[in-house]
């Protein structure tokens, strides 16, 4: 695309975001869902308007993973309450590791026997399980804050999503390589690869976050300077980890943000609110792009052709989420971690929405896999269900539980 087309498309997407802001005052649905709906209607007329967004299934994943996710991950990690996050870190890690594995396996077993078709082997069910186990609470967190929900509940939901997305992306890559015949289905090898990719990302991100904090200590800090520095940190960390070191870029960005914020705490005191506000704005803009683009690539035929598989996936995902959350909570109560309010698990279950990572992963599936269309349809169906049903009813559940 030429520069004029790129500018036109960016203006179009931001224009949809502005329209959604206006409509949100009159339509009582979550802002993110409104963006998806407007994006979908825009897709119906975009050809007649003679506009080519340049968005294809082949490049949508790259747009999400390499342009938007570094912003979203860095912003989510940077704005989290660090003290509460480290207090509940065992809980968050339990949900994001053991909980993700439980969810993946439960969904896989449920779909494999539910679909019961030779064209949908167990490896396909495992791929589906991991892509729809990645949570994205952006549509719920804003509502919880508006309802003045406890800060520890927000940290549990946001923190789990942050680590969960990173774990899901790494696990997806391992299962996909087995499905493509690029590696053997060997548990020991898979564990070694996971450790290398995941913990390699932790090391790269932590080192770069700490070094950046040292640089900040040597200069006069101001909000404009720190915006440039942190943007460079987010994208530079992702590029170095993903493209040069071949470890998890998402994990690296997450730990870069956490270590930078912790190590440069004293230098950020006077400018934290200003920097925090700018990163929230960047995250808000990135989410506009994500959900409008989601609306643009949704097609109706996936729901007419794969409605039964989508229904099975919705049921399986709910059962898996209940299992993952309550087993993790039990482990945290009796083995490691902090006991939590007994009213929180229902919110954590129902607030476990799916979003950007799920869509990016299903769109990255190679078409040589015979079942790619089934998994992609299920992924889109789950995302829309969680936005339409769960996101709109979570505030009701919060009020009913009197949280």
> How many Cα atoms sit within 13 Å of 209 on the Cβ side?
26
Cβ distance 203 to 245 under 8 Å? no
With contact defined as beta carbons under 8 Å apart, do 38 and 16 qualify?
A: yes
Q: Which residue has the tokens 């089934």?
A: 374
pLDDT at 138: 66
* C-alpha distance across the termini of the chain, in Å: 50
Q: Buried b / exposed e across 115-148, counting CB within 10 Å, b at 16+?
A: beeeebeebbbbbbbbbbbbbbbbbbbbbbeeee
Q: Is 163:92 a contact under the CB 8 Å cutoff? A: yes
Query: How far is residue 262 from each of residues 85, 216, 251, 258, measured CA to CA in Å?
Result: 12, 12, 17, 6
Which tens digit of pLDDT belongs to each residue from 217-235?
Answer: 888 778 888 999 999 999 9
What is the rounded CA–CA span in Å between residue 93 and residue 97?
Answer: 6
- What is the sign of the dihedral through the CA atoms of 272, 277, 278 and 279? positive
Cα 177 to chain centroid distance, Å, stands at: 21
As a whole number of angstroms, the distance between CA 379 and CA 134 comes to 11
pLDDT confidence band for 106 (50 / 70 / 90): very high
Alpha-carbon gap, residue 251 to 247, rounded angstroms: 8
Domain range for 291: 3-400
Judge contact between 214 and 266, C-beta under 8 A.
no
**Percent of all residues in the chain with a pLDDT value above 90, rounded to a whole number:** 30
Question: Residues of 56-68 as b/e, b for ≥16 C-beta within 10 angstroms?
Answer: eeeebbebbbbeb
Instruction: Summarize pLDDT for 154-181 with one digit per residue, the tens.
Output: 888 888 888 888 888 889 988 998 888 8
The model's pTM: 0.85
CB 157 within 8 A of CB 140: yes
**Residue-wise pLDDT tens digits, 345-401:** 999 898 888 887 888 888 788 888 889 989 989 998 999 898 888 888 888 888 888
Residue 380, domain CATH:
1.20.1530.20
Of 258, 265, 251, 260, the closest CA to residue 204 belongs to 251
Task: Give me the mean pLDDT over the 299-323 stretch.
Answer: 89
Looking at residue 247, what DSSP letter applies? S
What's the count of helices (H) and strands (E) in the chain, helices before strands?
21, 0
* 91: Cα within 13 Å, side-chain hemisphere: 28
Mean pLDDT of 21-26: 90
Which is nearest to 154 in space by CA: 138, 169, 167, 166? Answer: 138
Nearest one of 10, 1, 4, 5 to 292, comparing CA atoms = 10
3-state secondary structure of 222: coil
Counted domains in the chain? 1
Q: Is the pLDDT of residue 46 over 60?
A: yes
Q: 387, 36 in Cβ contact below 8 A?
A: yes
The CA–CA distances, whole Å, from 309 to 107, 112, 130, 381 equal 12, 10, 16, 9
pLDDT tens sequence across 248-285: 888 899 999 999 998 887 777 777 788 888 998 998 89
pLDDT bracket for residue 53 (50, 70, 90): low
Contact assessment for residue 313 and residue 358, using Cβ atoms and an 8 Å cutoff:
no
pLDDT given for residue 105 in this prediction: 94
Is 128 a residue whose pLDDT tops 90? yes
């Amino acid at each position: 695309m030429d520069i004029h087309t790129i500018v036109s498309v960016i203006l179009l997407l931001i224009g949809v975001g502005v329209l959604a802001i206006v409509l949100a005052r009159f339509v009582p649905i979550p802002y993110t869902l409104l963006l998806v709906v407007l994006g979908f209607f825009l897709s119906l007329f975009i050809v007649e308007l003679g506009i080519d967004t340049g968005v294809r299934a082949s490049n949508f994943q790259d747009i999400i993973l390499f342009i938007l996710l570094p912003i979203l991950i860095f912003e989510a990690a940077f704005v989290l309450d660090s003290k509460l996050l480290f207090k509940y870190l065992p809980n968050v890690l339990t949900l994001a590791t053991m909980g993700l594995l439980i969810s993946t396996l439960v969904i896989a077993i449920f779909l494999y026997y539910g679909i019961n078709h030779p064209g949908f082997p167990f490896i396909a069910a495992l791929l589906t399980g991991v892509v729809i186990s990645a949570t994205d609470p952006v549509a719920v967190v804003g509502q919880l804050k508006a309802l003045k929900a406890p800060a520890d509940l927000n940290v549990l939901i946001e923190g789990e999503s942050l680590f969960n997305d990173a774990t899901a992306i790494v696990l997806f890559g391992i299962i996909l390589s087995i499905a493509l015949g690029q590696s053997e289905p060997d548990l020991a090898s898979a564990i070694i690869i996971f450790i290398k990719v995941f913990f390699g990302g932790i090391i790269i991100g932590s080192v770069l976050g700490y070094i950046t904090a040292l640089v900040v200590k040597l200069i006069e800090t101001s909000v404009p300077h720190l915006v440039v520095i942190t943007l460079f940190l987010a994208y530079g960390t992702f590029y170095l980890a993903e493209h040069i070191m071949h470890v998890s870029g998402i994990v690296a960005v997450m730990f870069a943000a956490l270590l930078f914020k912790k190590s440069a705490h004293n230098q950020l005191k006077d400018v934290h609110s200003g920097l925090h506000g700018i990163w929230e704005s960047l995250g808000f803009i990135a989410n506009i792009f994500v959900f409008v683009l989601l609306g643009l690539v949704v097609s109706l035929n996936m729901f007419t052709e794969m409605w039964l598989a989508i229904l099975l996936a919705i049921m399986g995902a709910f059962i898996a989420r209940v299992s993952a959350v309550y087993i993790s909570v039990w482990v945290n109560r009796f083995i490691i971690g902090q006991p939590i309010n007994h009213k929180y698990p229902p919110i954590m279950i129902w607030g476990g929405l799916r979003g950007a990572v799920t869509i990016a992963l299903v769109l990255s599936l190679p078409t040589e896999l015979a079942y790619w269309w089934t998994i992609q349809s299920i992924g889109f169906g789950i995302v829309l269900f969680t936005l339409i049903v769960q996101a709109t009813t979570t505030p009701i559940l919060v009020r009913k539980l009197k949280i």
